[in-house]
Structure 1
């Protein structure tokens, strides 16, 4: 880790365990991008674009295409002996709008930086190659080096359960895999009406079921890529972090994973009641001529399964509000999503796993900026409440419950405020929602349009990847070796990441940030 030592002087830089066990014969003879046999079929890969020692496998199907009678239905496992060309990402799942509804963006006088304009473009561009045949995953690995049976980091993207894709260049897994000697997996799952349809009489939360099936696939197949199925850690941000929290309650006795990393997302993001969700479903079915709440469920579903994908997406209602909007969202079914999370937190009825959890210092910096572009404004106090009650307090409650359940728990607050990633010049966007994701994946360049990345931001990214890698390799104790204290609500154990744009485990009290929490 000479690079780490050079860029992070005075910080503990632990190399991945490259010599603790001899390389197995299959590792010694590993060829970059070699064909790997999986339950989905043999898949061939290629060298990563920058980290040439990393083998990349893209677009591996883990579920049958959710088409025809599988539209609006739980996913079915995919099994095949046909060769898979892993050189291209699979289709993105169909997208819907989040901000602005049909209102065109207004950037005049909004003081957007280059990063702010790039973030807006990313929000609006969609994924032109989208298709309902989108249930695929991607793997980055380098078995020829380092540890046998590598730890696995499995990423679940955010996007308000409305947008998002594993093909987004922000989520390129090669740099984490290369630096940290772990395997990185990213998955697609169905979103908006296709993932959370809430058709009365039919299963909902299909996107969450997609995630479970993808995790099962990784658990069953990752050994072929050099991974250890007993050391899978889920990590995700925003709706992805919320999905991981939902997962921990839905599968308390069979999580199939060893650790959880929730970045700016918990059950505190909320869920719809079945009644509320059904109203949105009927709005779309009525628009498409498939009936309303007086139509039989079977007749309505047959009609909806006959409609064109684009027509269904276009029928999703649009709304202007500063927080962004989603009409199709995780819905309470008392199977995958529950109505009583506070009681379940108190009772500890979640998967007993080590937890790394946190939020950014000013989550609203993103939503406030994007809302203003669509001329949607809220007073400062409303945004402070949004930060507190949507992110800070739920993260604290979840961390406290984990501690009460005697699980190794680590809590952070991210303060990194780097000029390369600022969204606006005035008001300052500060450490906004998702601002840690690009340095974590080392994909700042993907949003910077070739602009130079400063040393402080480079060092921050190296540090974040190191911390996440340490947790993945040893969820219980890895971060203590990185200088982190285990979280305790009565002690100064909050790790302030990026404090004054520095690196290292700057530790403070959580109390000042939790003021106002129940």
Structure 2
């Protein structure tokens, strides 16, 4: 069995009728859910379901639907004047339906997690729910998906709030801003920040390998979403001069790629790549991207590598999306690591990052204590002892160490963390224990841990509050905010106590060790 590819393949998880306004900056004037004027049109929101005073705006189109002649092409900005019903992720209107982007399989068993793996690993009821969520249950999908969501509370707190823009993960083949895990209402309510989450094209639609187009459409989508935030967030009470881009897994990789691709005009003012960096799992070459493109085209009857590229392209434009994705490579049990993912074009994604300058921005970078605790349960047992710990080290810990050092050497304020919390309602497996696994910090961070099976412990709640507060402090003041947060977060240094252990032994305050404490083998 080829263990490394198996590990790598997974990375890649009541309305108001108020008058329109251009600004949410006036305390006492903001009506929860009021209509907001944007470049996309007038957006009607509503009160968030479980966070008092938070206005929720869902499924706002930031780009034209990438359908018809726009399929497999770079995004084009959406400009509108009509009223957008932003009260549901899956609106049934003619103006962007807020769907999740078309996905392809994480594994061949996406529809049903295998019973043999459940029994073999002792996967818990809560764990099974978390694993199923990786395949986006109950979310509707469409090519018409380039939308974003905003949660804000302008009637209190700062008149112009710091903004956090979330980029979801999912191995670049799954995930959606509509996942309940990423709901931003609690973050916005508790930390006096504006939360934005975005969709971007996935799988072959976001990373096609089409010789006649950019191979990195999904990354271009992300950039256009950030441009929309810059141009419109002030109308929601946000501060366009304080935008932080944060993401996890494929989202973290995307944040890091963004810092290099748009280093001369980053728009954002701070970066938080979580459990994923440009150097984490290697890069898809142009040649491999084209091979996968022609494999897909041949599977749907559009010809292969020996057919005219123009004829293949014209044919692929006519095929239903669901037919195209049927023949795509599975991310886990296929032969290729991250088959549909950022591809070297030396414009947005570069063949060699050694010595390449990135945007000069403050950064928080880190990973979980045992990333492999998630990946392990997707494959039958059989790896040698220590394999998953080793792969966690090579694919996550060491890249974080390298990236933190690069950021420090560039003179950027830099912090490094390691998330270590383990709680009963988030345990994936018991044989062996899943530990603080890949993506395990996200429900506490967004305060979206399901409570119906097992209630959160007081320590879990406190650690979630602590982490959320830290991310908000950084967004509000990327240079000094963390130094002033709670007991103070020292800037990262290899040989000084500066690596922040969040949830160490489930303690409710961060614990410090030397920056290189976990970097054996790096």
2:151–2:184 CA contact under 8 A, matched in 1:
yes
- CA shift, 1:295, in A, is 1.5
Inter-partner Cα distance in structure 2 for 1:319 and 1:51: 36
Counterpart Cα distance in 1 of 2:418 and 2:372: 14
> Where does residue 169 of structure 1 map in the other structure?
180
Aligned pair in 2 of structure 1 residues 323, 260: CA closer, same or farther (>3 Å)?
A: farther
State the distance in 2 between where 1:262 and 1:410 align: 11
Matched, 1:217 2:228: yes
Contact 1:323 1:367 in 2 (8 A): no
Q: In the alignment, is residue 340 of structure 1 matched against residue 349 of structure 2?
A: no
Gaps of 5+ in 1: 1-22
Name the structure 1 match of 2:65.
65
Contact persistence 1:155–1:236 (CA under 8 A): yes
- Distance across 2 between alignment mates of 1:183 and 1:124: 27
Partner secondary structure for residue 239 of structure 2 = strand
Instruction: Please say if residues 420 and 505 of structure 2, whose CA atoms lie closer than 8 Å, have aligned partners that are also in contact.
Output: yes
Q: Do 2:423 and 2:456's aligned partners in 1 also have CA atoms closer than 8 Å?
A: no
CA-CA distance at 1:174 after TM superposition? 0.7
Aligned to 1:94: 102
What RMSD, in angstroms, separates the aligned Cα atoms of the two structures? 1.8
Is the Cα contact below 8 Å between 2:425 and 2:453 reproduced in 1?
no
- Please give the per-residue CA displacement for 1:43-92, whole angstroms capped at 9, x wherever unaligned: 01111111120000001000000001110000000001010001011100
1:498 shift after superposition: 0.5
Structure 1 residues 190-229: aligned runs within 5 Å: 190-229=201-240
Aligned to 2:140: 129
Q: Name the structure 2 match of 1:11.
A: none
* 1:298 aligns to 2:310 (yes or no): yes
Aligned residue pairs, count: 486
Q: Please give the alpha-carbon distance, in whole angstroms, between the structure 1 residues aligned to 2:495 and 2:165.
A: 32
Aligned to 1:454: 457
Q: Distance in 2 between matches of 1:47 and 1:324?
A: 44
Look up the match of 1:466.
469
Distance 1:225 1:125 in 2: 28
Secondary structure of 1:426 counterpart: coil
Q: Are residues 1:404 and 2:416 paired?
A: no
Matched, 1:105 2:110: no
* 2:5 corresponds to: none
Q: What pairs up with 1:347-426 in 2 under 5 angstroms?
A: 349-371=357-379, 375=380, 377-426=382-431
- d(CA) in 2 for partners of 1:27, 1:297: 57
Alpha-carbon offset, residue 95 of structure 1: 1.2
Q: Could you tell me how far apart the structure 2 residues matched to 1:278 and 1:302 are?
A: 16
For the structure 1 residues 442 and 104, does the alpha-carbon distance in structure 2 shift closer, same or farther, using more than 3 Å as the test?
Answer: closer
The residue aligned with 1:17 is: none
Asked whether the equivalents of residues 120 and 370 of structure 1 are also in contact (C-alpha less than 8 Å), the reply is no
Asked whether the 8 Å contact 1:95–1:126 carries over to 2, the reply is no
Aligned-partner Cα distance in 1 for 2:337–2:108: 9
| SS class of match (2:52) | coil
Contact 2:420 2:504 in 1 (8 A): yes
CA offset at residue 27 of structure 1?
3.0
Q: Aligned partners of 1:455 and 1:97: how far apart in 2?
A: 37
Q: Contact (CA 8 Å) 1:93, 1:190: kept in 2 or not?
A: yes
**Can you list the C-alpha shifts for 1:385-419, whole angstroms capped at 9, x where unaligned?**
21111100111111001100111000001111112
Structure 1 residue 202 displacement after superposition: 1.8
Q: CA deviation at 1:104?
A: 6.1
Equivalent of residue 434 in structure 1, options 411, 431, 439: 439
- Structure 1 outlier segments of 4+, above 6 Å: none
**How big is the shift at 1:325?**
5.3
Q: CA 1:358 to 1:260, structure 2 compared with 1: closer, same or farther past 3 Å?
A: same
Q: Which stretch shifts more, 158-167 or 451-460?
A: 451-460
For the pair 1:443 / 2:448, whether they are aligned, the reply is yes
**d(CA) in 1 for partners of 2:335, 2:435:** 17
2: CA distance, partners of 1:392 / 1:201: 37
CA distance in 2, matches of 1:515, 1:152: 36
- Give how far 1:40 is off: 0.2
Q: Which residue in 1 is equivalent to 2:340?
A: 328
Give the C-alpha shift of residue 124 in structure 1.
3.9
More helix, by proportion: 1
Structure 1 counterpart of 2:130:
119
Q: In 2, are the aligned partners of 1:98 and 1:326 still within 8 Å (CA)? A: no
* Secondary structure at the counterpart of residue 428 of structure 1: coil
**Alpha-carbon shift at residue 322 of structure 1 (Å):** 9.9
Distance in 1 of aligned mates of 2:423 and 2:109: 30
